[in-house]
A and B are shown apart, each in its own frame.
Chain A
Amino acid sequence: MMSRCQVFLRSSIGKKLLMALTGLFLIGFLVAHLAGNLTLFVDADGGAMAVYAQKLADLGPLLWIAEVGLFVLFVVHLGLGMRAAMENREARPARYKDTAPKGGRSPASVTMIATGVVILLFLIVHLIDFRLVDGLFAHPEPATLAKVVVERLSSPLGAAIYFFGMVALGVHLWHAFQSALQTLGLRHPAYDKSIKCVGAVLAVGVAGLFAAFPVLCLIYKGDWPWS
């Protein structure tokens, strides 16, 4: 006999709900990550980012717990997405010769798996670049972090990887936010438009600001004209 929780989490709606919740937490992480990153632009010598990175490092065990939590969130989100994609393929074994949309889909909504895979590949590169430089069990040196970031992002290849990674993130987020709320059952004509609007601002704002890092690093190489 399966427990009530097991029945829920094995149902299509339960899995989707878990995916929506993990996705919303990941959006929360993105916003915090972005806020931290913006310290890069405060000064040309990377002092502000060093202070920020040091503060994170000073969290000690709390940082480890946060990292493990983030990893679990990501794995659950990714795992459920992959599983849903496989089940959905099985749900239509014979394909149509051709399908013509009747107006429901958006480029973002039908490419969630594709953009998700691009984000996964990007994340692997990103972790190798900045998180695993001193190995899995050591965090990168706060004092030189800004220099490492600018170095990586000011090469044309690095800038391209980070820029297009963020384009994929933006497209993913465009559908993600309103889709997550729909899965949570939060839909009402009174706030449908607001939800879509917040989702769009999140997608363009978060991905756009992240994408500004490679662009500005490529142009100014860390020597910010405003600092």
Chain B
Amino acid sequence: MSAGHDDHGSGGLDLTLHIWRQESSEAQGRFETYPLHDVSPDMSFLEMLDVLNEQLVREGREPVEFDHDCREGICGSCGVMINGQAHGPDRETATCQLHMRRFKSGETIFIEPFRARAFPVLRDLVVDRSAFDRIMSKGGFVSVNTGAARDANSILIPKENADLAMDAAACIGCGACVAACPNAAAMLFVGAKISHLGLLPQGRPERSRRVLAMVAQMDAEGFGNCGNIYECEAACPKAISVENIARLNRDYLIASATERPPTASGGGA
């Protein structure tokens, strides 16, 4: 635990970092080694990288590029592979919420970008996750009039559906599921999105169309096939359940069998 450690004293950690450096998407990447001394155990993992970067800048070297934004585990920007684990060793924890007290002095840490064909490395630890945005643009929304807010109880929602939808809505789209999957599949992400929207009355009208379009885009992006290995669930900082993948499979099968295109003459007499 952190108690008793002096941030600037002898309680700091001495670490050897092996960090993936890559100038651009096209460039050949490689690991570079950086010793880092006297790291406070109270720092977050990203703060540790900040300290490294300050040191690199002082030395006139290029800082390590990494994605981050909220630093409180809700934006989904900051995923990296830490010693072969998406977001590092802790469960239900994004990289920004991982603390250095989890590591021992003298430890060697390998830091790599999330790797998948659909997530090309842009620079160092930064990957392009716009494949997720393109999947969302195919149906990860509800087309309703967003005018005046309705009365909270005007649409009845079963408690268990509301709970399941909220659990799925916890997905922050960080991509750890893809990164941790041995097959680089995006099924947990897509499963979470179709569950979050499809379980609620507002998302129901588009449930079939949504799942068909989002799966088509997921396949087009070049993600792998789900092997039901469940490493995604274990790596997810929000503990999204693989039950959502079963719902995705189910919805896709039903939608494939029952979805019918809208007709111009349809409706009314």
Q: A residues touching B (Cβ–Cβ < 8 Å)?
A: 4, 7-8, 11-17, 84, 87-88, 90-105, 109-110, 112, 175, 178-179, 182-189
Q: A94-B115, A98-B110 are in contact. Are A105 and B225 (CB under 8 A)?
A: no
Chain A nearest Cβ from B234, distance in angstroms: 4
Determine the distance from Cα of A99 to Cα of B231 in the docked complex, in whole angstroms: 11
Could you tell me the distance in whole angstroms from the C-beta of B169 to the nearest C-beta in chain A? 19
Cα separation A84 to B1 with both chains bound (whole Å)? 45
Query: With A and B bound together, what is the CA distance between A100 and B19 in angstroms?
Result: 17
Bound Cα distance A17, B257 (Å): 13
The residue that A98 contacts in the complex, of B83, B89, B245, B250, with Cβ under 8 A, is B83
| Pairs A–B under 8 Å by Cβ, sample size 24 | A4-B256, A13-B215, A13-B253, A16-B226, A16-B249, A84-B224, A84-B227, A91-B223, A92-B116, A93-B117, A102-B89, A102-B180, A103-B91, A104-B229, A104-B230, A105-B229, A109-B227, A175-B228, A184-B250, A185-B246, A185-B253, A187-B242, A187-B243, A187-B246
Chain A CB within 8 A of B11 CB: no
Q: In the docked arrangement, what's the CA distance between A72 and B112, Å?
A: 43
Give the complex CA separation of A189 and B233 in angstroms: 15
Across the interface, name the chain A residue whose C-beta is closest to B90. Answer: A102
Minimum CB distance partner of A176 in chain B: B228
- A sample of 10 more A-B contacts (CB under 8 A), given A14-B256, A92-B184, A97-B31, is A12-B219, A14-B252, A84-B224, A91-B116, A91-B117, A91-B224, A91-B225, A102-B89, A105-B229, A189-B243
- Bound together, the chains give a CA A13 to CA B245 distance in angstroms of 10
B215 adjacent to A109 (CB under 8 Å): no
Minimum CB distance partner of A103 in chain B: B234
Q: Is B63 an interface residue (CB 8 A)?
A: no
Q: Which of the residues A11, A104, A110 comes within 8 Å of B234, measured between beta carbons?
A: A104
List, in ascending order, chain B residues with CB within 8 A of A184's CB: 249-250, 253
Q: Which residue of chain A has the shortest Cβ distance to B246 in the bound complex?
A: A187
Query: In whole angstroms, what is the CA distance A50 to B90 when docked?
Result: 60
Chain B's interface size range is 35 or more
Contact B115 A96 (CB under 8 A): yes
Q: Quick check: is B81 within 8 A (CB to CB) of the other chain?
A: yes
List chain A residues, Cβ under 8 A from B233: 104
Q: Which residues from A are CB-within-8-Å of B225?
A: 12, 15-16, 84, 87-88, 91
Shortest Cβ-Cβ A-B pairs, 7 listed: A185-B250, A91-B224, A187-B246, A104-B231, A104-B234, A104-B230, A88-B183
**Contact indicator B252/A11 (Cβ below 8 Å):** yes
A102 touching B91 by the CB < 8 A rule? Answer: yes
Bound-complex Cα distance A95 to B228 (A): 20
B218 within 8 A of A: yes
Which of chain B's residues have a CB closer than 8 A to the CB of A178?
228
Q: Given A98-B83, A105-B231, A112-B227, do A182 and B246 touch, yes or no (CB 8 Å)?
A: yes
Complex interface: chain A residues within 8 A of B252 (CB): 11, 13-14
CA distance A60 to B245 in the complex (A): 44
In the complex, chain B residues whose CB is within 8 Å of the CB of A183: 226, 228, 249
Tell whether, in the assembled complex, residue B232 and residue A104 are in contact, meaning their CB atoms are under 8 Å apart: yes
User: In the complex, what distance in Å separates the CA atom of A62 from the CA atom of B225?
Assistant: 36
CA–CA, A4 to B257, complex, Å? 8
Chain A proximity of B36: nearest CB distance (Å): 19
Q: Which of A11, A102, A175 contacts B85 (CB 8 A)?
A: A102
Which residue of chain B lies nearest to A175 when distances are taken between CB atoms in the complex?
B228
CA distance A8 to B251 in the complex (A): 12
Q: Which of A84, A91, A188 has most chain B Cβ within 10 Å?
A: A91
Q: Report if B240 contacts A (CB, 8 A).
A: no
Q: Which residues of A contact B256 (CB under 8 A)?
A: 4, 7-8, 11, 14
Instruction: Closest A residue to B228 by CB, please name it.
Output: A179
CB < 8 Å neighbour of A110 from B89, B229, B235? B229
Closest B residue to A101 using CB positions: B231
Known interface pairs A102-B86, A185-B247. Does A91 touch B185 (Cβ–Cβ under 8 Å)? yes
